[in-house]
Chains A and B, each alone.
Chain A
């Protein structure tokens, strides 16, 4: 049998064979679909369920995949933006900071105790293992006890601070040590003979002073010193050193006939010998009164070189003068100052009290007197010779014009001295009779002002709305309209200075170096000018101020890796994120105007 060909027919009736809508926008209704189902057919249960479902409200269509994704994205974006916005404060702070130091977290290198390092190490290669095995067998110690129990105790007792202090102290000591070493090295190199002579003398004097002190404080040590001297003496006597016998002395001997210096040098050597071989009388301090042995000792130990022989200070031949002699010396000085009769009388009175005053006061008095003498002399000189000088200076002043109002030469006449019959004043007035300098100056200044005034622009053209031609002038209305007056110029700087003309002309060569328009970050001219005016250099600022002014904006440590910012670097981050409280100054931009955006001037 031939199968019947099925065929679809277009119809508006909705049935199980045909699902169609009446028009666009019309919806299918479930009841239409259910119509053909007769009750008591197999589909009756289905129909019942479907009628039940019909009563319920329609569920919304689930979003398409794209829309669902979009919703998720938006939510995630908002959430992420908020998370990322926590860093806003930190970022702003860093942008505005005057100085940033990288790496942000400066780690202080801690010294790992050696025991830890040693204990952490394990034998790896077969050789190491073999050796360790051997050590274990023979029960030898593997690790050296690096620190004795006392040392460990002391380490534990010392805190970090103390350790630091101790280190600082050691460093200071090292520095001082190195300084002294350097100094000694420098001094060792000095070869100058004069320097060495002076040094020797000063050393001798110091030794003597020390010995005296020692004698007073610690007699046993003094005895020890004396023994040393004894040693020196013995050495000198045993050797044949300072006896003009060596090579140097022989060469000097040849020169001595002609050269005074050579002779002196040889004599000095011999004197040294004598000094060293002098016997030192040791006397115990208990047996005799202290005064005498001291003086003896000093006289023995101090080389009482007959000073005159060596050509040194002849004034030191005798004993040091007492107060009476000082007085005599001062009197001598007084006699030099001639016109000081009164002062000398004063001093005569002082003489009586001289003995009571100490030496220092006497010196001070002497100084005061000398000063007074000097001042007296100066004054007397002034009175005599000053007049001439004064005259000359006054003349110069008169010659420079413009100091007084016109025709005031008479004011000077009182101060002038008439010398030798020549009337200088008269001569000058005659010479400059015709010159009215001040009036000239004011005229010049007025001319300069007029020249500097901005000129009105003349745009007048004859004709153009009225008759023009030879002999005809444009009307007053036209002139009023076309003569453009400029705005008044700013006041001149020399307005309040009647005797000064300041040129207001623009210096082209300086202008080439100057800024012509206000640069961007500044809002007012005064701000910019102030920033330029303040000097930065060390000539105008103290060292601290200079350092603060010139600190660099970014400091990095060489050899250190700069890691990206993390939450640990900014401890505030945790608090703001956790509490959710807004910081005091919320600068999160509500509207997308990021903080770096430059304000653009809108053209109208």
Chain B
């Protein structure tokens, strides 16, 4: 091929047209829904990933049932009646040989990951009876330690039946607890007192508390950035915090139209997925304030729990209509082995889309998503409300003494206090 530029004129218009076509084709091939795992007899309350196997996922339902699924066959492999009442939380041990569940019957149970052999009954390895209801559980990433939360945050050794230490700060019930995957002695918890508390396991002390406007439902630590965590809040937003600077979140992610119930990070640490009470899940980049993708189905009702698989390709979401749905993380990605030419073409298209992403026609096509009517109308309504509030603030500022109304950054608006 002769690279003489006189022979290949009009580079920019030609590449622009290719970018436009690539954007349109991306929308054409954006079919993210893969399958739905059917079998639970009550809403799915919590999910856990298998740390060593990509094709296994565990789910706990609101009737105390725990099911283990094989994603390649899309079938349930094992069913356990684990608790009476809700299965409030579950987590897998880091080695992958067992998993823990907590339920409304105030017990913590440890089960084997392998199916019981012929003739054996489905029994937990270990049961711990507690005095209060436990609402969440998470296992340490490296040691044989796990933490439960309910009345207070308890840290247990696997061999003992009473907690190693109990961490309390205030008198409120705690809804979820998560271990930091990188600095494994750190924990974060969300309480019903609208606060997020960080704990240090080595020193057995809480570290700091940040109080937000509304309650946080769950939080998730970034697996690639040790000090970053994202909190899913009731005020329709998600807040990404830097652990060292809790006065103001790193980013406020706004796009949901109802309470955000669950959040999970991609293993690359660049994006996360959030499940919301409005019947959709959204994928946000860590450094942007708005979502890049929204998944919804007519059949999917309030999404309670969401997980991003460890190979960065799929998203699992459990909703309260008893189904677990499997989606592609990249909606228009072609699964399977790609020929080298295909890969080269896809990389080229991706690069073109990035290069021309600011052009109006391309941006319009790339950001267009079909939304269900409820969400669409809610977005419009909330925009009107926000505009009204903003206008009022501007007017107040205009008609008051200059300097009497300070400008508060959007990030700081949602934080009430940071308590040392």
Task: Tell whether, in the assembled complex, residue B182 and residue A80 are in contact, meaning their CB atoms are under 8 Å apart.
Answer: no
B30-38, B146-154, B357-365 - the one binding chain A: B357-365
A158 to B86, CA, bound (A): 61
Given contacts A69-B205, A74-B420, A84-B186, contact A558 B223 (CB under 8 A): no
**B395 on the interface (CB 8 Å rule)?**
no
A546 to B1, CA, bound (A): 14
Task: Tell whether, in the assembled complex, residue B360 and residue A531 are in contact, meaning their CB atoms are under 8 Å apart.
Answer: no
Given contacts A102-B312, A537-B15, contact A550 B348 (CB under 8 A): yes
A162 to B257, CA, bound (A): 62
B230-238, B240-248, B319-327, B369-377 - the one binding chain A: B240-248
Task: Tell whether, in the assembled complex, residue A592 and residue B200 are in contact, meaning their CB atoms are under 8 Å apart.
Answer: no
Given contacts A539-B1, A559-B54, contact A85 B207 (CB under 8 A): no
Task: Tell whether, in the assembled complex, residue A87 and residue B227 are in contact, meaning their CB atoms are under 8 Å apart.
Answer: yes
Residues of B within 8 Å of A562, CB to CB, are 223, 267-268, 310-312
Residues of A within 8 Å of B313, CB to CB, are 556, 558
**B84 on the interface (CB 8 Å rule)?**
no
With both beta carbons as reference points, the residue of chain B lying nearest to A528 in the complex is identified as B358
**A389 on the interface (CB 8 Å rule)?**
no
Residues of A within 8 Å of B3, CB to CB, are 540-542
Task: Tell whether, in the assembled complex, residue A561 and residue B223 are in contact, meaning their CB atoms are under 8 Å apart.
Answer: no
**A188 on the interface (CB 8 Å rule)?**
no
With both beta carbons as reference points, the residue of chain B lying nearest to A600 in the complex is identified as B409
A558 to B358, CA, bound (A): 31
Most buried by B among A69, A77, A535, A552: A77
A79 to B202, CA, bound (A): 12
Residues of A within 8 Å of B250, CB to CB, are 594, 596-597
**B290 on the interface (CB 8 Å rule)?**
no
Task: Please tell me which one of the listed residues B8, B205, B269, B312 contacts residue A539 in the complex, with CB atoms under 8 A apart.
Answer: B8
A234-242, A348-356, A512-520 - the one binding chain B: A512-520
Closest CB in chain A relative to B224 CB, distance in Å: 5
Closest CB in chain A relative to B188 CB, distance in Å: 12
Task: Please tell me which one of the listed residues B226, B351, B420 contacts residue A550 in the complex, with CB atoms under 8 A apart.
Answer: B351
Given contacts A77-B207, A533-B12, contact A550 B344 (CB under 8 A): yes
**A532 on the interface (CB 8 Å rule)?**
yes
With both beta carbons as reference points, the residue of chain B lying nearest to A589 in the complex is identified as B245
Mask for A171-199, Cβ within 8 A of B = 1, else 0? 00000000000000000000000000000
A515 to B358, CA, bound (A): 7
Most buried by B among A74, A551, A594: A594
Given contacts A513-B16, A558-B313, contact A76 B203 (CB under 8 A): yes
Question: How many chain B residues have a CB neighbour from A under 8 Å?
Answer: 64
Task: Tell whether, in the assembled complex, residue A81 and residue B312 are in contact, meaning their CB atoms are under 8 Å apart.
Answer: no
Closest CB in chain A relative to B245 CB, distance in Å: 4
A487 to B257, CA, bound (A): 48
**B183 on the interface (CB 8 Å rule)?**
yes
Closest CB in chain B relative to A27 CB, distance in Å: 31
Task: Tell whether, in the assembled complex, residue B243 and residue A81 are in contact, meaning their CB atoms are under 8 Å apart.
Answer: yes
With both beta carbons as reference points, the residue of chain B lying nearest to A516 in the complex is identified as B360
Task: Tell whether, in the assembled complex, residue B347 and residue A561 are in contact, meaning their CB atoms are under 8 Å apart.
Answer: no
Task: Tell whether, in the assembled complex, residue B268 and residue A554 are in contact, meaning their CB atoms are under 8 Å apart.
Answer: yes
With both beta carbons as reference points, the residue of chain A lying nearest to B241 in the complex is identified as A594
Given contacts A76-B203, A539-B8, A596-B287, contact A91 B348 (CB under 8 A): no
**A439 on the interface (CB 8 Å rule)?**
no
Task: Tell whether, in the assembled complex, residue A84 and residue B268 are in contact, meaning their CB atoms are under 8 Å apart.
Answer: no
With both beta carbons as reference points, the residue of chain A lying nearest to B359 in the complex is identified as A515
Residues of B within 8 Å of A554, CB to CB, are 268, 270, 312
Task: Tell whether, in the assembled complex, residue A596 and residue B244 are in contact, meaning their CB atoms are under 8 Å apart.
Answer: no
Task: Tell whether, in the assembled complex, residue B348 and residue A537 are in contact, meaning their CB atoms are under 8 Å apart.
Answer: yes
**B112 on the interface (CB 8 Å rule)?**
no
A80 to B420, CA, bound (A): 14
Within residues 351 to 391 of chain B, which ones have a CB less than 8 A from any CB in chain A? 351-352, 355-356, 358-361
Task: Tell whether, in the assembled complex, residue B347 and residue A551 are in contact, meaning their CB atoms are under 8 Å apart.
Answer: yes
A80 to B359, CA, bound (A): 45
Residues of B within 8 Å of A514, CB to CB, are 359-360
Residues of B within 8 Å of A74, CB to CB, are 420
Mask for A518-554, Cβ within 8 A of B = 1, else 0? 0100000000000111011111111000110111101
Most buried by A among B1, B250, B312: B312
Mask for B241-268, Cβ within 8 A of A = 1, else 0? 0111101101100000000000000011
Given contacts A80-B207, A537-B15, A594-B245, contact A512 B361 (CB under 8 A): yes
Task: Please tell me which one of the listed residues B226, B350, B351 contacts residue A87 in the complex, with CB atoms under 8 A apart.
Answer: B226
A541 to B1, CA, bound (A): 10
With both beta carbons as reference points, the residue of chain B lying nearest to A86 in the complex is identified as B226
Task: Please tell me which one of the listed residues B12, B245, B310 contacts residue A532 in the complex, with CB atoms under 8 A apart.
Answer: B12
**A208 on the interface (CB 8 Å rule)?**
no
Task: Tell whether, in the assembled complex, residue A592 and residue B8 are in contact, meaning their CB atoms are under 8 Å apart.
Answer: no
**B158 on the interface (CB 8 Å rule)?**
no
Closest CB in chain B relative to A280 CB, distance in Å: 56
Within residues 192 to 217 of chain B, which ones have a CB less than 8 A from any CB in chain A? 198, 200, 203, 205-208
Residues of A within 8 Å of B227, CB to CB, are 84-85, 87, 91
A70 to B181, CA, bound (A): 26
**A560 on the interface (CB 8 Å rule)?**
yes
Mask for A86-101, Cβ within 8 A of B = 1, else 0? 0100010011000010
Most buried by B among A76, A81, A538, A551: A76
Task: Tell whether, in the assembled complex, residue A540 and residue B183 are in contact, meaning their CB atoms are under 8 Å apart.
Answer: no
Most buried by B among A514, A535, A600: A535
Residues of B within 8 Å of A535, CB to CB, are 11-12, 15
Task: Tell whether, in the assembled complex, residue A561 and residue B200 are in contact, meaning their CB atoms are under 8 Å apart.
Answer: no
**B141 on the interface (CB 8 Å rule)?**
yes
A565 to B203, CA, bound (A): 23
**A603 on the interface (CB 8 Å rule)?**
yes
Closest CB in chain A relative to B114 CB, distance in Å: 16
A162 to B39, CA, bound (A): 54
Mask for B267-296, Cβ within 8 A of A = 1, else 0? 111100000000000000001000000000
A94 to B222, CA, bound (A): 13
With both beta carbons as reference points, the residue of chain B lying nearest to A545 in the complex is identified as B3
With both beta carbons as reference points, the residue of chain A lying nearest to B289 in the complex is identified as A598
Residues of B within 8 Å of A507, CB to CB, are none
Task: Tell whether, in the assembled complex, residue A532 and residue B355 are in contact, meaning their CB atoms are under 8 Å apart.
Answer: yes
Given contacts A532-B12, A597-B250, contact A564 B311 (CB under 8 A): no
A162 to B44, CA, bound (A): 55
A364 to B350, CA, bound (A): 57
With both beta carbons as reference points, the residue of chain B lying nearest to A592 in the complex is identified as B245
Task: Please tell me which one of the listed residues A79, A102, A513 contacts residue B268 in the complex, with CB atoms under 8 A apart.
Answer: A102
Task: Please tell me which one of the listed residues A513, A539, A550, A602 contacts residue B361 in the complex, with CB atoms under 8 A apart.
Answer: A513
Residues of B within 8 Å of A542, CB to CB, are 3
With both beta carbons as reference points, the residue of chain A lying nearest to B94 in the complex is identified as A563
Given contacts A73-B207, A87-B225, A91-B224, contact A552 B181 (CB under 8 A): no
A490 to B248, CA, bound (A): 46
**B52 on the interface (CB 8 Å rule)?**
yes
With both beta carbons as reference points, the residue of chain B lying nearest to A82 in the complex is identified as B244
Task: Tell whether, in the assembled complex, residue A540 and residue B8 are in contact, meaning their CB atoms are under 8 Å apart.
Answer: yes
Task: Tell whether, in the assembled complex, residue A561 and residue B54 are in contact, meaning their CB atoms are under 8 Å apart.
Answer: yes
**B5 on the interface (CB 8 Å rule)?**
yes
Task: Tell whether, in the assembled complex, residue A565 and residue B311 are in contact, meaning their CB atoms are under 8 Å apart.
Answer: no
Task: Tell whether, in the assembled complex, residue A87 and residue B182 are in contact, meaning their CB atoms are under 8 Å apart.
Answer: yes
Residues of A within 8 Å of B27, CB to CB, are none
**Given known contacts A552-B347, A602-B407, what 4 new A-B pairs fall within 8 Å (CB)?**
A535-B11, A535-B15, A552-B350, A558-B337
9 residue pairs, one from A and one from B, having the closest CB atoms: A564-B223, A564-B181, A562-B267, A592-B245, A535-B11, A519-B358, A87-B226, A550-B347, A77-B207
23 A-B residue pairs with Cβ-Cβ distance under 8 Å, sorted by A, are A70-B420, A74-B420, A87-B225, A91-B226, A512-B360, A516-B360, A531-B355, A532-B12, A540-B3, A549-B351, A550-B348, A551-B347, A554-B268, A554-B270, A556-B268, A559-B54, A559-B311, A561-B52, A563-B310, A564-B181, A564-B182, A564-B267, A596-B250
A residues in contact (CB < 8 Å) with B: 69-70, 72-74, 76-77, 79-81, 83-85, 87, 91, 94-95, 100, 102, 512-516, 519, 531-533, 535-542, 546-547, 549-552, 554, 556, 558-566, 589, 592, 594, 596-597, 600, 602-603
